[in-house]
Amino acid sequence: MSTFSTAITGLKAYQTDLGVIGNNIANANTTGYKASRAQFSELLVQTIEGATPPSDSTGGIDPMQIGAGVIVGGILNIQTQGAIEPTGRSSDLAIQGEGFYVLSNGESQIYTRVGSFELDANGNLVDAGTGLKVQGIDGDIHIPLGSNEAAGTTEVELVGNLNASDADDPITLTENESTLETSFFIIDTLGGKHQVNVTFSVPGSANTGLWDYAVSAASNDTGVFTGASAGQIQFASGGNVLSITGPGSGGGIFTFNPGNAAASAQEFSIDFDALTGFAALSSVSMKQQDGVPPGSLTSFTVSNDGMVNGIYSNGLVTEMDTLKLASFSNPAGLLRLANGQFAETPNSGVAQYGVAGTGGRGTIVAGALEQSNVDLGTELVNLIIAQRGYEANAQVISVANQIQQTTLNLLR
């Protein structure tokens, strides 16, 4: 009897549906899990009698057909956004919007929404569950904690006054505004400190607002200045800088050779524009310089555009890489793997790579994880519906069996 085979297809379909629903419920609290849904389709229909057209005396007759049951036509991946929950852990990352993190096993690319990452012993950012390396625009993201980094001086800014009525002895720049006896330091590319002297003097016996300046390394320093290192500053009658000649003009460059074979030549500018030429005591000091001494990499942060920044103990912040995100024309067509990971398929489309916030990709939320998108209430309702469907098909088999038994009894 076709009733048996039809009901059996229903049992099989609902059994699959129960498996899908059960897996959703089991992963209701799994980070980054994407729910699935069984899609039922009707089996091939048996036509008992075809349709007939209407005539002048009678109307038409519709076709007579009996269905052959049901199958699971597909199991759909529901790629909707899960709730984002803060964790306070800097290496936990969530995507707000579309896109997938890109992981590498050295041979192929794997995709995931699970942003539970950590650093391995070699400083590689990896997936905490599988050890697969997280990919950035430049390849494997590498964050070598404990490594040292320094920033050489590129700019020095001076402030103070050169007495417009004082034509006595030369005045030597100092770092302390209360004394004229010390010099400021610059930082070379390896983080080494070098003392620099700047000497101001009035040429001739009359002070006309013109001052000579000369930049030199301290006598006990191994470094030397190469190229031009002297010039003149002319003050206007109002006390402001009127003109500057020499390398200090218009942000010109002073070149300093640290005398260290490992450190490269240091080029930096000295800004004299904030100096004044009033009839007051002469006092010049360094306001600031942008060099940073050596510091070790202590932590890292990830911005909402996926930029990975290293944080050093000396306050230096450097860009290390940018997270690479993948997007697909049909993310539901991805092949589901273990650990919340997916692989590309012919129906998902080819991965399109980019960074967060571009090309329809979402943004990064650091210190948080995306939770499962399973709606537990909906799944429990679906569970009851699937259970009733399974029971109903089992009842059809029971009734069909009773009818068959009755028919057999008629033959006795």
Same domain for 196 and 269, yes or no, is yes
Exposure pattern of 298-318 as b/e (b: 16+ CB <10 Å)?
A: eebebbeebbbbbbbebebee
Distance CA 356, CA 260 (A): 42
Q: Output the furthest CA–CA distance in the chain (Å, rounded).
A: 143
pLDDT at 170: 53
Provide the residue range defining the domain that includes 314.
84-147+297-370
Total structural domains in the chain? 3
Is the residue at 243 inside a domain? Answer: yes
CATH number at residue 197: 2.60.98.20
What is the CA angle 276-281-283, rounded to 5? 65
Is the residue at 56 inside a domain? Answer: no
Same domain for 241 and 302, yes or no, is no
Same domain for 168 and 280, yes or no, is yes
Residues 6+ apart with CB under 8 A from 388: none
- How far CA 364 is from CA of 92, 224, 361, in Å, comes to 10, 48, 10
For CA atoms 136, 137, 140, 141, give the dihedral sign.
negative
Please identify, among 239, 265, 290, the residue that sits at the C-terminal boundary of a domain.
Answer: 290
Distance CA 377, CA 387 (A): 16
Q: Which helix (H) or strand (E) holds 381?
A: helix 376-410
Distance CA 102, CA 386 (A): 36
Same domain for 160 and 283, yes or no, is yes
pLDDT at 173: 46
Can you say how many angstroms the Cα of residue 70 is from the centroid of all Cα atoms in its chain?
Answer: 46
For the chain, how big is the Rg over CA atoms in Å? 39
Residue 269, strand partner residues: 155
The two tokens of residue 5 are 């085979």
3-state secondary structure 38-70: EEEEECCCEEEECCECCCCCCCCECCEEECCCE
Same domain for 191 and 220, yes or no, is yes
Same domain for 204 and 163, yes or no, is yes
Are residues 156 and 186 in contact, defined by beta-carbon separation less than 8 angstroms?
yes
Summarised one tens digit per residue, pLDDT across range 319-351 is: 999 999 999 999 999 999 999 999 999 999 999
Is the residue at 110 inside a domain? Answer: yes
Please identify, among 247, 272, 290, the residue that sits at the C-terminal boundary of a domain.
Answer: 290
Is the residue at 366 inside a domain? Answer: yes
For the chain, which ranges sit under pLDDT 70? 1, 165-182, 205-207, 250-252, 261-262, 412
Same domain for 365 and 342, yes or no, is yes
Please identify, among 290, 316, 347, the residue that sits at the C-terminal boundary of a domain.
Answer: 290
Distance CA 192, CA 196 (A): 13
Distance CA 220, CA 405 (A): 113
Summarised one tens digit per residue, pLDDT across range 66-90 is: 888 899 999 999 999 999 999 999 9
Same domain for 192 and 234, yes or no, is yes
Asked whether the whole model's pTM tops 0.75, one would answer no
Residue 103, strand partner residues: 110, 134
Are residues 198 and 215 in contact, defined by beta-carbon separation less than 8 angstroms?
yes
pLDDT at 255: 87
Same domain for 181 and 217, yes or no, is yes
Is the residue at 387 inside a domain? Answer: yes
Is the residue at 55 inside a domain? Answer: no
Is the residue at 213 inside a domain? Answer: yes
Is the residue at 20 inside a domain? Answer: yes
Same domain for 166 and 282, yes or no, is yes
Summarised one tens digit per residue, pLDDT across range 144-191 is: 888 777 888 999 999 998 877 654 445 554 443 333 344 888 888 888
pLDDT at 1: 57
Residues belonging to the chain = 412
Same domain for 258 and 216, yes or no, is yes
Are residues 127 and 119 in contact, defined by beta-carbon separation less than 8 angstroms?
no
Same domain for 162 and 271, yes or no, is yes
